[in-house]
Amino acid sequence: MSAGSRYPVARPRAYAFDAAYETVPNWDIGRPQRAFVYLEEAGLIRGRVLDVGCGTGELSLFLARHGHEVLGIDIAPRAIEQAREKARWRRIPAQFLVWDALDLAGLARGGLSFRTVVDSAMFHLLGDAERDRFVDELASVLDPGGAYLVLGDVRTDPRATYGLSPEELERRFRPEAGWGVAFVRRTVFERRYSRNPAYVACVVRHPTSRP
């Protein structure tokens, strides 16, 4: 963050998200998305966890309550303030940080790495170039053999960037770059007043990979 600023310099979008948390945004349902509950029950969330785009922290808090060491990051300072408040009142030892998910290498430079990275509807909002950058940044903090678990709305318009598609995940997470898409499943993304068709996917960093 820049001196004297609440917002990550590279992400002016933080202003919009911070404003959304002045009330309760539609995507903040007061609990983790069911897709991640099922992933936890299946034993697919392991070790130290990074929650990118954590919002007010419901997924991070759920995972910490189930024994994981969790760091949640978000570009919206107001969301992180609320997440920390929830953690304090619920006495759950999750950690939260105002941080740009497009600078995960900065976490790596601080000595942090993670066995699992969870993404509850952040990637599906990124632009095309941002997605390329995020994949590169992800490699810097995800342990070899670790998993990136992502949930996002199904892309309904093939001309649009918003949303997810299995084809895009295969294209961006290429085996020759050290990735493997373990699975992509249809599910739903729940909002306070609706639910959308979604994909949940598991992408694995090959054990021989190096950032």
How does pLDDT run along the chain (211 residues), one tens digit per residue? 333 334 344 455 666 677 777 777 778 999 999 999 999 999 999 999 999 999 999 999 999 999 999 999 999 999 999 999 999 999 999 999 999 999 999 999 999 999 999 999 999 999 999 999 999 999 999 999 999 999 999 999 888 899 999 999 999 999 999 999 999 999 999 999 899 999 999 999 998 755 5
- Amino acid 22: pLDDT: 75
Q: Which of 72, 7, 11, 61 is nearest to 31 (CA)?
A: 61
User: Distance between CA atoms of 205 and 191, rounded to whole angstroms?
Assistant: 30
Span 13-205 CATH architecture:
3-Layer(aba) Sandwich (3.40)
H or E segment to which residue 204 belongs: strand 195-205
Provide the b/e sequence for 35-45 (b: ≥16 CB within 10 Å).
Answer: bbeebbeeeeb
Q: Is 70 exposed, middle or buried, given 0-12, 13-18 or 19+ CB atoms closer than 10 A?
A: buried
**E-assigned strand segments in 95-160:** 95-98, 114-120, 142-153
Q: Where are the domains of the chain?
A: 13-205
List of E strands, 17-91: 49-52, 70-74
In sequence order, the 6+-apart residues with CB closer than 8 A to the CB of 39 are: 45, 149, 200, 202
